[in-house]
Structures are given as C-alpha cells and as structure tokens.
Amino acid sequence: MTLPALEEIVRTARVVALPMATRFRGVTEREALLFEGPQGWSEFSPFVEYGDGEAAAWLAAAVDFAWREQPAPVRESVPVNATVPAVPAAEVPAVLARYDGCRTAKVKVAETGQTLADDVARVHAVRAAMGPEGRVRIDANGGWNVDEAEHAVHALADADLEYIEQPCASIDELAELRRRIARWDIPIAADESVRKASDPLAVARAGAADIVIVKAQPLGGVRRALEIVAEAELPAVVSSALDTSVGLAMGTALAAALPELDHDCGLGTASLFVRDVATPALRPVSGALPLGRVNPDPGGLDELAASPARTAWWLARLERCHALLAR
C-alpha cells in the first residue's frame, strides 16, 4: 500500500500514558501513540528504548491496520492466558483474579535483582492457584545463560510447565538448551529471537525452538506475521507488546487469522493496566477475547493524555519513523 502522508496520521494522533497495576518490564506507565485511519483506530507503541530502525516496523504495522482491511478470521474469539509479572508469591492470587476464566498463566522469571528461589516460589504459587488442569508457562526474556536455564528447568521440574519462553538470548544458546533438556520434553518458545531479529526465521532454521511467539506490531503487521508463521512451520502463539486495547485488537486480528492455534495467546494484558483507553477495556471474559476493532473513549484520551513534553517526543519519533518508511 501507499504510505499515507505524515499529516494524515498526525491529524488524529493522540499520545496516552496508561498507569499499570503492577510494575512490568521495569515500567509503571505505558505510553502509546494512537491514530485513526479509514479502517479505524490503530496504535504505534514501540518501547521507548528502541531505536528508530526497529520502531519503523511498528509504524508500518500501525498504518497497515488503520488503512487496510485485515485478513479474514477463521475463528470467532481468541483464548488468552493470564500474565503474572515478577511479583512476590503472596501477590499471585490477586494478579490472577484480574483474568476472568483464563486456563493458562504465563509467569515472568529471571527478573533483574531477583533469584531463582523467587522464581520457583512464584511459579509454584501460580501452579497452586491454577490447579492440576491449568497450564503454566514461564518467560525469561532471554535473562539466563544456558547453565542457568538448565538449572531452572531442574528446579521447576515439578511445575508441569507448558513451555519456556525465550530462556536465553541467542539462537545458539536456545539450540544448546533444547538439546540439554530434551529428556524433560519441555518445549522452548522463541520471542525476542523472532521479533527483534534481522532474520525472524533464523531460529526455526536452526532448530532452536519448538514454538514461535509472534507480535503484530514488531513484525510489521498482521500479514507479515502470518507469512513468518507459515514459513517457520512451527506452532505459533500470538502475544502482546503491552498494547492498549486498540493495539490488542490488532493482535486478535492476527490470532483469529492463523490457520492453527494450538495454544492460548498472550493478549490478555489489558488486565495489567489500572485504566485503559476504551470502556470496557479489551480484557478476557471466560478466558477469551472477542474480535473486532476497538475505539478509544474521547474522555479517556483526554484523561490519559501524556504530558506536552512526552507528546512532542512521540510526534518527533513518529516523524522520523515515517521518513524511514518513505525511503
């Protein structure tokens, strides 16, 4: 498609800052730039530490979602998991209570400043709360080396893990860990090795993962993410990049269009916010999200508006990324 003029995007652009119920990924407030196109509202929200080259793919996804009709769905709703930040074990029940009917929980581990004992206590608390029929997966965000990851697998052997997401940072490390833990039959899922890689298919070619985690914004949009899943020939889990409800609708469009969906998706993350841009927010009901675009509340956009300085920062970033896409 032809890239719309910057002025067309800026005309409806609104920058928001959403307060979080619990610190997550080191932040207590999530910023995002929202804008409206012919197909509806969309979101541009690369994390603030990302460079313009990486952030440009997020803008390509946002423009595609706002200006183009999305691929047809093959399912009517999307099952999602609960997401448990790196909280003390005692806080686990309160976190899970924010996710209505979710049968799966993803638990953050390998948090800077915490220990494996903290992780084990948190995971066991989640397992106890979910019961034997619940599914528990963990996400280390590449925070372990191979030896540390193998040790963690030993320590969590009784937690009946569904899979381990990005236990190590590099593809070589993932491949080595996969070889070491083969006897436990615990799949490895690749996230950062897909969405942050110059070649998102390298991890599949290396036999370093059993599952790919795909996120619509970082991969350049729903269509590009579908292509990557098809070429990887691995089961896929659609996840959120801590999007607002507007961005989550892009994720549900991706998950709904996948030919196969064997795992619950990580799109229930609106439950991590104290307040979202839409009422009601796109939160799980009976463990699933509905399909369809989300329109932000005008009053919510005003109440959650970022400061003038942060708004100017995002608009400048938008301009730079737009210039990269226009080349």
Query: Could you list the active site residues?
Result: 108, 215
3-state secondary structure of 133: coil
Q: What does the block give as tokens for 26?
A: 């080191």
Q: Yes or no: say if 59 and 325 are a contact pair by the CB < 8 Å rule.
A: yes
Residue 191 known to bind ligand: yes
Q: Yes or no: say if 301 and 277 are a contact pair by the CB < 8 Å rule.
A: yes
In sequence order, what are the residues at sequence separation of 6 or more whose Cβ sits closer than 8 angstroms to the Cβ of residue 145?
168, 173
Residue 139 known to bind ligand: yes
Q: Yes or no: say if 283 and 249 are a contact pair by the CB < 8 Å rule.
A: no
In whole angstroms, how far apart are CA 183 and each of 148, 160, 169? 17, 14, 22
Q: In what order do the strands lie in the sheet with 27-37?
A: 14-24, 27-37, 40-44
Neighbour tally for 124: CB within 10 Å? 17
User: How far is 230 from 219, CA to CA, in rounded Å?
Assistant: 14
DSSP letter (8 states) at residue 89: G
Which DSSP string corresponds to 42-59? EEE---TTS-HHHHHHHH
User: How far is 281 from 20, CA to CA, in rounded Å?
Assistant: 14
Q: Mark the binding-site residues for Mg(2+), compressed into ranges.
A: 139, 165, 191
Instruction: Please report, in range form, the residues annotated as the binding site.
Output: 139, 165, 191
